[in-house]
Amino acid sequence: MNNEQRLEKIAQYSHAHMTQDRTGHGYDHIRRVVAMARKLSAKESADLLVTLASAYLHDVIDDKLVDDPQTALDGLKSFLIEVEVSAQQIEQILFIIQNMSFAHTLDNKPVQLPLEGQIVQDSDWLDAIGAIGVTRAVYFGGHHSEKIYDPRIKPRESMTKEEYRNLQNETIINHFYEKLLKIKDKLNTPSAKKIAENRQRFMLDFLTEFQAEWDAKK
Ligand code: ADP
Ligand code: NI
């Protein structure tokens, strides 16, 4: 099996696991993350198999999304062995997908990701901002019965990983101030930072317009 065939199998595995998701982590999200990872890789000298495999698989063992993360992890390991990914590459892929989430960056000691992981993290984060980001935040918030907005609930200035994971009383608009607007300054690669500029402007314009309409000023 060559790497192209391996990636085809990995894409099928990811599709089978993510296609049911209705929280904004569906296969459409995966497809965009993989496409962006490919684009960002063009400017970097990363291992393309590790990068794209991690992009395809980054959400399949997420404890938010699967009932039993240990079983999901065991299943993923056996699958990667089956498609003859090398032991070293499997180790890299698993390290990346277990350490790349936004919540991890709130840790006191965030781990340093290898270049491949930095590219996938950037690709995942770019998909949380801009027009797609606005759509996903509304979709996610609706799914989790969040309020759209409540001026009495103030955005939290900073959060620990545990607080981020157990958000109470969250509103969709506050999510922009607590996470989405902060992503731009956390990105790793120069190409991702460039792409984020326009997406950041779009979100700020959206929030200005939202507030004006909320206050009946427009
Ligand atoms: P990660 O796995 O990178 O930590 P999440 O799974 O928390 O990211 O977020 C995935 C998507 O869901 C993002 O587009 C994010 O903006 C959205 N989202 C996450 N939490 C909330 C929330 N409390 N309200 C609205 N949208 C959210
Ligand atoms: Ni993702």
pLDDT in tens, 165-198: 787 889 999 999 999 999 999 999 999 999 999 9
Half-sphere exposure in the Cβ direction for 122 (13 Å, CA): 28
Q: Are 119 and 56 in contact (CB under 8 A)?
A: no
Distances (CA, A) of 160 to 110, 144, 153: 12, 21, 18
Residue 209 has pLDDT above 90, yes or no: yes
Portion of the chain with pLDDT greater than 70, in percent: 100
Contact by Cβ (8 Å): 192, 128: no
**DSSP secondary structure string for all residues of 177-206:** HHTGGGGGGG--SHHHHHHHHHHHHHHHHH
21 lines ligand 1 (CB under 6 A): no
**Protein residue with least CA distance to atom 26, ligand 1:** 137
175 CA from centroid of ligand 1 (Å): 8
The sign of the CA dihedral 200, 14, 92, 163 is positive
Side-chain-facing half-sphere of 140: CA atoms under 13 Å? 19
pTM beyond 0.90: the answer is yes
How many angstroms separate the alpha carbon of residue 1 from the centre of ligand 2?
27
Domains and CATH numbers, the chain: 3-214 (1.10.3210.50)
Q: What are the backbone angles phi and psi of residue 171, rounded to the nearest 5°?
A: -120, 160
Task: Look at residue 204 and tell me whether its pLDDT is greater than 90.
Answer: yes
What is the overall mean pLDDT for the chain? Answer: 94
Query: E-strand spans in 41-97?
Result: none
Q: How far is the CA of 163 from the centre of ligand 1 (A)?
A: 14
Q: Is the CB of residue 17 below 6 angstroms from any atom belonging to ligand 1? A: no
Asked whether the predicted pLDDT for residue 108 surpasses 80, the reply is no
Predicted complex ipTM = 0.94
58's CB contacts (< 8 A; 6+ apart) are 30, 33, 96, 97, 100, 120, 124
User: Quick one: which atom of ligand 1 is closest to the CA of 167?
Assistant: 23
With a CB cutoff of 8 Å and minimum separation 6, the contacts of 67 are none
Residue 157: band (very low, low, confident or very high) from pLDDT cuts 50, 70, 90: confident
Q: What is the pLDDT of residue 167?
A: 77
Model confidence band, residue 159 (pLDDT cutoffs 50, 70, 90): confident
Q: What is the mean pLDDT of residues 205-217?
A: 97
**Atom 2 of ligand 1, residue of closest alpha carbon:** 101
User: Which residues contact residue 144 at a Cβ distance below 8 angstroms, ignoring those fewer than 6 apart?
Assistant: 23, 170
Joined together, the tokens standing for residue 136 give: 């996903």
The pLDDT of residue 15 is 95
Task: Output the pLDDT for position 135.
Answer: 97
Q: Is the pLDDT of residue 85 over 90?
A: yes
Q: How confident is the model at residue 19 (pLDDT cuts 50, 70, 90)?
A: confident
Structure tokens at 172: 């969709």
Identify whether the C-beta of residue 124 lies closer than 8 Å to the C-beta of residue 146.
no
Q: Which residues surround ligand 2, an ion (CB under 5 A)?
A: 59, 124
Q: Compute the distance from residue 115 Cα to the ligand 1 centre, in Å.
A: 23
35-82: pLDDT as tens digits: 999 999 999 999 999 999 999 999 999 877 788 889 999 999 999 999
